[in-house]
Amino acid sequence: MPYITPKVLVIDSNLDAIELARFALWRSDLACRFEWFDDAELANASLLTHALCRSKDLPALILLDPRNFPGAEGYELLRTLCIYEAVSHIPLVLFTSSPLSSDFSIDQDSRIWYAAKSADPADYMREITRCVRSRLYEPVH
């Protein structure tokens, strides 16, 4: 069976954050494909469509900042990711302004992790790389 490069999906309304994430992953040379949405409703519909059609191209990891979308769109997407069985298995990193723990990889459950979303571009890029490396390439304890 051929190796399929894992897909990392970034969902954020901030296009600068998306571009920083893309650049961080490219620069880190991690073996992954990068895709993004800057619209939570569109991301929600796309993920559900792919899942319900049993697409083999679902993301291996989703990085989401639900706070920046208008109304409750980001949180509706988060709800979809948590309750619909077809997508509820996908590992998820939620970016917050202040994470629940300074070391998200130790204190989080095996599916949902929380990470700080720094306003400093270099710190944000390091955190993106750390999240992807930890979630996709290091075993979860």
User: Is the pLDDT reported for residue 101 higher than 60?
Assistant: no
Q: Which amino acid is at 29?
A: D
How many structural domains are present in the chain?
1
Q: Cβ(40)–Cβ(12) under 8 Å?
A: no
Residue 2 covered by a domain? no
pLDDT in tens, 11-59: 999 999 999 999 999 999 889 999 999 999 999 999 999 988 988 889 9
Q: Residue 126's domain spans which residues? A: 7-137
Residue 1 covered by a domain? no
- This prediction has a pTM of 0.86
Quote the percentage of the chain above a pLDDT of 90: 52
Distance CA 80, CA 45 (A): 10
Q: What is the pLDDT of residue 99?
A: 53
Distance CA 90, CA 87 (A): 6
Q: What is the pLDDT of residue 71?
A: 87
